[in-house]
Amino acid sequence: MKTNLLEFDLLGLQTFCESLGEKRFRAQQLFRWIHQRGESDFDRMSDLALPFRALLLQHAKVEGLDPVATHKSKDGTIKWLFSVGENNAIETVFIPEDDRGTLCISSQVGCAVGCRFCSTGHQGFSRNLTTAEIIAQLWMAEHQLRRQSGQNARVISNVVMMGMGEPLQNYSALLPALKTMLDDHGYGLSRRRVTVSTSGVVPMIDRLGQDCPVALAVSLHAPTDPLRNGLVPLNLKYPLTELLQACSRYLAHAPRDFITFEYCMLAGVNDQAAHAQALIDLVTQHAQGKGLSCKFNLIPFNPFPASGLVRSEPGVVQRFAQQLQQAGIVTTVRKTRGDDIDAACGQLAGDVVDRTHAVERMTKHRTIDLVSVSS
């Protein structure tokens, strides 16, 4: 079996080179060929010594993912569907903007958290992606877009772990992928331009702070435990107080001096003035009134069949944003991109061979209890 070199961060590749009887420093050249030049053919890695190339040919490969479909939206957003074997497929989305190019990467086939409003959550969970499958999404997108542009300049400037899956439930595979994104010999992205989004896996937020403190986005969606329990089932394990404490601890390591809270606006569920007030109280009264440094990103709900939920009206979203802003909390409303190709937040579905009976579970609990915000 040949080893896929996309599986390794630079440290891992050094160890691999040593295992072939090569000097560690050779790994750096090889890593640059793979990630900076997008090269997969060892024979074309012209400055590597011939015996080293021969060893690599024998023991290693650089293998991306198999693209089964590519869709391009009217607004320039591109969505790839990549096969990852056994009838499983994941999705990756590129979002071009004037001043940046953002790639939204998947971390799992499906997701076991099962949020009510998320298409991935409704599909259940099949398996974790490997490091190679995570980084291959960036490797393929970057070099394909670069070739298409006909220039050798970097196309992807930002990465968000906001595709399918809960990245902090696949931590061991995520970490080398993040390190490769940040490595100067890899993609050289700054820690501020790589964002991990999580539904709130508290212990892993702490681990990430220690191991690789990139920008953190936390999917909040509700100001109280009873409501959040119904929307993000992981809240039963890690309730709001614990989650906010983890966010405070993360700030000591974070590349920015705030945490981003994502909040999916669901008509009549979490979008009322009382919810906004409860959110303000939650973040400003945190830590005995010291408050938590944060920003809010309101995401208008992107509907999908079977969710049974409705997007908040634009006016309601605006009022909600203003209420937070008047309380001194920086709040933005996320523009919906790529919804004509189902590439918007929460619409990513891929193909998931569910091993968790999520569909049955979700149909049994179709309704969300509309709990009073004061409860």
Binding site for ligand SAH (CB under 6 A): 111, 117-118, 162, 166, 197-199, 219, 262, 264, 299, 301-302, 345-346
Q: Interacting stretch for ligand SF4, rule CB under 6 A, among 33-41, 117-125, 184-192, 222-230?
A: 117-125
Q: Which of 64, 101, 124, 165 binds ligand SF4 (CB under 6 A)?
A: 165
- Give CA angle at 42 (36, 47), nearest 5°: 70
Q: Does 124 bind ligand SF4 (CB under 6 A)?
A: no
Give the integer Cα–Cα distance in Å for 53 and 20.
Answer: 11
Cα separations (Å) of 33 from 60, 187, 205, 369? 14, 11, 32, 54
For the segment 319-338, give every residue that binds ligand SF4 (CB under 6 A). Answer: none
- Taking the complex as a whole, how short is the minimal distance between the CB of residue 244 and ligand SF4, in angstroms? 18
Q: Where are the alpha helices (DSSP H) in the chain?
A: 10-19, 26-31, 50-59, 119-123, 131-149, 171-182, 202-211, 225-231, 240-251, 273-284, 314-326, 358-364
- Extract the tokens encoding 363: 């149909």
Q: Which of 7, 22, 133, 166 binds ligand SF4 (CB under 6 A)?
A: 166
For the segment 209-228, give every residue that binds ligand SF4 (CB under 6 A). Answer: 219
Return the one option of ligand SAH, ligand SF4, none that residue 114 interacts with (CB less than 5 to 8 A, by type): ligand SF4
- Taking the complex as a whole, how short is the minimal distance between the CB of residue 179 and ligand SAH, in angstroms? 19
Annotated catalytic, 63?
Answer: no
Check 111, 118, 212, 345 and give the catalytic one.
Answer: 345
Report the side by side order of strands in the sheet with 194-198.
66-72, 78-83, 89-96, 101-104, 158-161, 194-198, 215-219, 259-265, 294-300, 330-333
Complex with ligand SF4: residue 118 or 344, whichever CB lies closer: 118
Return the one option of ligand SAH, ligand SF4, none that residue 162 interacts with (CB less than 5 to 8 A, by type): ligand SAH
Give the integer Cα–Cα distance in Å for 20 and 217.
Answer: 40
- Closest-CA residue to 192 (of 167, 165, 224, 214): 214
- Residue 351 is classified by DSSP as B
- Extract the tokens encoding 168: 């902090």
Check 91, 133, 142, 166 and give the catalytic one.
Answer: 91
Annotated catalytic, 22?
Answer: no
- Closest-CA residue to 92 (of 78, 76, 80): 80
- Taking the complex as a whole, how short is the minimal distance between the CB of residue 226 and ligand SF4, in angstroms? 18
Looking at beta carbons, which residue is closest to ligand SAH? Answer: 346
Query: Can you give the binding site for ligand SF4, defined by CB under 6 A?
Result: 111, 113-115, 118, 120-121, 165-166, 199, 219
